[in-house]
Amino acid sequence: MGFESINSAINLVLPEVVLIATTCVMFLAAPFLVAENGAAAPGIRHRWGALALLAISVAGWFWMNSGLVPINDGPFRLDGLSYYIRGTTLVFGAVISLMLWSQVDDSKAAECQALLLAILAGVNFTVAANDLVVLFLGLELVSIPTYVLLALPRRDRESQEATIKYFLLSAFSSAVVLYGFALLYGATGTTHFVGIAQAIGGNHSGEFSKLLPLSVALIVAGLGFRVTAVPFHFYAPDVFQGSPAFAAGMLSLIPKIVGFAALVRVLGISVADTAFDMNLDSLASIVKPLLAMLAVVTMLLGNLMALRQTNIHRLMAYSSVAHAGYMLVGLTIGDRGQIATGVSAMLFYLVAYGVMTLGVFAVLCAISPSDRPIKDLHDLNGISRHHSAAALMLAVFLFSLAGLPPSGGFLGKMNLFLAAWSEGTMLGKYLAYIMAFNAMVSAVYYLRIVAAVYLKPGTGPTTMHMSAPAMVASVFCMVATFAMFVSPQAIWDRARMKDPSAVVVVSPTEVKSSMSEAIDGLPAESPASLEETLPSSSLPQNIPGGISVPGERAGSTPSASVESGPPDSRSESTATTPESSAP
């Protein structure tokens, strides 16, 4: 790769640079503001929280001004998936930062906020990765700060148990993922996604190396831990139970974002080398039965176990397992689906799920007394008498989680259902049936909480204490829940922002054949011609942002007949800007 692409690569990750620089500043400054005995000035957490929000806002500004970049041989890849997930991460990062605001001591606020920023940077590195090494480092940049963030706020036994369980299993899953990556490297001879796609795509006989299925299965297993797919979900209830509410909210969302982003990234490697192109030539096709099985088991077990829970954190843990199953349905469908493609439905659902789940935990953060966090279901009994606004918001989020109409959750589930239904195979239809059945089952336990909040006599906390930042977070989540139902178009367009050259119009076989010709036409063993090898068919016609990358040239292949989505409409998506979540 040329020096130009390395030099220009720093321009592609400006939001992450901002986040990490702020992390370093907070790490550096925090010890000087804490007294010798470990006490900090009261109220200093407001300053750290404001600084974290400022950093997220600046990163969001850089994100909004970032453009899509054609698939290159550099270390980062900025396509529709990166753009969507990075924005999602920053917005939800701001929400989590607000939830965290009042839940940690003044003396630890700086470290906690800094670790949160590092986690956000890790998610963004993962999704922007163009190389297995960067992808793995991004995953670890999510995991390692998470361990500390789980252990730091509290020191009781429950919290320590949760941290140790999460640490051991997460390290184990990272090792499994790394093993899968190593085998993928062994099968293809390179860690670069473009190179891997070429190595697999040049295999016209359709005969994969024996290592490929094994490596992909290991990667799915390791990332299945992150998204709490069922055989790897065992940690979730215990860890959620022992964690403070903001950490449980973060654990229910951030690992899912990063896990699904990494899964789409790796499984989407295909001949056409378009990120979302989960057609028959991609790695996803190797493990499609595995994904379908994971989805079915995850949905069923998550919902059935959630029926029996009395602890709200455990219940939300199993609920997050069940929702991971719904999203795995989308991943299984992949790029097929006539009405809505599976991956775009999954990405849309990821945002809807994040809004409603973080909303539930934000309400819990807001109304929990500082000395006794709300953990049991009967703590919520009759809470509507003291906290009418919080109870209303909780009900909205739970209705949305159950998938009832005026909410983003309904639309997300409908998209997934339509994607599975319109895939055109029996597998897709069965997945849609099972999903509908599960949505019905899940309504039972969500509505049971609503009934407890509104109908049962009150036994819960009667203090009127409310944490203002967490209230802001939950109000934002409620507005977003409704906004995703009323005007989902802005987010849906982003979620569908496939590869900019829009493979929808060009059939996958055409792309494949043109790619195969492009690869065939090359003189082998000539790295200088690499830039021509890069899929010129997938270059966007007009690159917003104008970050020039060597190898960028006007495509002459099928994309000429395709209108690439006008990127100017990006500024309309005010629903996803981080500024709107700032207080």
Task: List contacts with other proteins (CB under 8 A).
Answer: 1, 3, 6, 9, 13, 20, 23-24, 27, 35-38, 73, 75-76, 108, 111, 115, 118, 121, 125, 131, 133-134, 137-138, 140-141, 144-145, 147-148, 151-152, 187-192, 194-195, 198-205, 207, 209, 522, 524-527, 529-530, 533
- Give me the least distance between CB of 187 and other proteins, in Å please: 7
Phi-psi region of 403 (alpha: psi -120 to 50; beta: other; left: phi over 0): left
Are 453 and 395 in contact, with CB atoms under 8 Å apart?
yes
Nearest to other proteins of 473, 534 (CB atom): 534
Are 193 and 79 in contact, with CB atoms under 8 Å apart?
no
- Give me the least distance between CB of 109 and other proteins, in Å please: 12
Give 212: exposed, middle or buried? Use CB within 10 Å, 0-12, 13-18, 19+.
buried
Nearest to other proteins of 30, 471 (CB atom): 30
Determine the distance from the C-alpha atom of residue 20 to the mean position of all C-alpha atoms in its chain, rounded to a whole number.
19
Are 240 and 341 in contact, with CB atoms under 8 Å apart?
no
- Give me the least distance between CB of 71 and other proteins, in Å please: 12
Q: What is the largest CA-CA distance in the chain?
A: 78
What is the spatial distance between Cα 581 and Cα 119, in angstroms, rounded to a whole number? 19
- Give me the least distance between CB of 118 and other proteins, in Å please: 5
Tokens of residue 98, six digits: 């607000």
Query: Which among 516, 523, 520 has a CA at the least distance from the CA of 537?
Result: 516
What is the spatial distance between Cα 185 and Cα 446, in angstroms, rounded to a whole number? 44
CA distances 145 to 46, 117, 382, 411, Å, are 21, 9, 37, 33
Number of H helices, E strands in the chain: 21, 0
Strand partners, 376: 311
What is the spatial distance between Cα 396 and Cα 482, in angstroms, rounded to a whole number? 9
Residue type at 441 in one-letter notation: V
Half-sphere exposure of 318 (CA within 13 A, CB side): 21
Residue type at 24 in one-letter notation: C
Give 576: exposed, middle or buried? Use CB within 10 Å, 0-12, 13-18, 19+.
buried
- Give me the least distance between CB of 137 and other proteins, in Å please: 4
- Give me the least distance between CB of 582 and other proteins, in Å please: 25
- Give me the least distance between CB of 272 and other proteins, in Å please: 15
- Give me the least distance between CB of 512 and other proteins, in Å please: 14
Are 256 and 228 in contact, with CB atoms under 8 Å apart?
yes
Nearest to other proteins of 77, 336 (CB atom): 77
- Give me the least distance between CB of 427 and other proteins, in Å please: 29
What is the spatial distance between Cα 370 and Cα 465, in angstroms, rounded to a whole number? 9
CA distances 138 to 16, 205, 245, 370, Å, are 11, 34, 25, 34
- Give me the least distance between CB of 73 and other proteins, in Å please: 6
Nearest to other proteins of 244, 342 (CB atom): 244
- Give me the least distance between CB of 74 and other proteins, in Å please: 9
What is the spatial distance between Cα 122 and Cα 134, in angstroms, rounded to a whole number? 10
Are 129 and 138 in contact, with CB atoms under 8 Å apart?
yes
Nearest to other proteins of 75, 337 (CB atom): 75
- Give me the least distance between CB of 50 and other proteins, in Å please: 21
CB atoms within 10 A of CB 523: 8
Are 166 and 150 in contact, with CB atoms under 8 Å apart?
yes
Nearest to other proteins of 538, 576 (CB atom): 538
Nearest to other proteins of 297, 518 (CB atom): 518
What is the spatial distance between Cα 239 and Cα 314, in angstroms, rounded to a whole number? 9
